[in-house]
């Protein structure tokens, strides 16, 4: 498992980059850059500690596949909602997320739990 020292240093660097971007290009640009870097760091550490991550979250290949499918469906629904239904971008994103969360909930509820 990767240590906290490395993670703390990387978090400090990400914060400095976000603050510098906020000063240079505006507060919202700095915020979004900081948010993207935090998400990228979290995904990188989850990937680097893959065995710990899968054990801690109880992940199986089926759960990972369903999650990837739901994320891809969310991304695919946003342009459909904006072009076919004329929804604004933010509304299309919210509607796509709500739709896929309800599909994921329905799948998780109706999935058989037996052997």
In a domain, 52, yes or no: yes
Which residues form the domain of 30?
A: 4-57
pLDDT value of residue 80: 94
In a domain, 22, yes or no: yes
Domain count across the chain: 2
Is residue 95 located within the same domain as residue 71? yes
pLDDT value of residue 7: 81
Is residue 83 located within the same domain as residue 47? no
Cα–Cα distance, 85 to 38 (Å, whole number): 33
Cα–Cα distance, 54 to 71 (Å, whole number): 18
Is residue 33 located within the same domain as residue 68? no
In a domain, 26, yes or no: yes
In a domain, 115, yes or no: no
In a domain, 45, yes or no: yes
pLDDT band at 2 (very low <50, low <70, confident <90, very high): low
**What is this structure's pTM?**
0.63
Is residue 13 located within the same domain as residue 52? yes
Cα–Cα distance, 3 to 9 (Å, whole number): 11
Tell me the CA distances in angstroms from 83 to 88, 89, 92, one per residue in order. 9, 10, 10
pLDDT value of residue 48: 87
pLDDT value of residue 3: 61
Domain boundary among 57, 83, 100: 57
In a domain, 73, yes or no: yes
- Rounded mean pLDDT, 70-81: 94
């Amino acid at each position: 498992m990767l240590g906290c020292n490395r993670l703390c240093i990387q978090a400090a660097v990400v914060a400095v980059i976000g603050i510098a971007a906020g000063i240079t290009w505006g507060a919202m640009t700095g915020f979004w850059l900081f948010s993207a870097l935090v998400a990228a760091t979290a995904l990188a550490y989850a990937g680097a500690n893959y065995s710990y991550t899968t054990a801690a979250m109880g992940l199986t290949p089926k759960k990972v596949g369903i999650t990837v499918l739901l994320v891809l469906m969310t991304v695919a629904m946003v342009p459909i909602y904006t072009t076919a239904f004329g929804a604004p971008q933010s509304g299309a994103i919210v509607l796509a997320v709500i739709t896929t969360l309800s599909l994921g909930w329905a799948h998780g509820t109706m999935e058989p739990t037996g052997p």
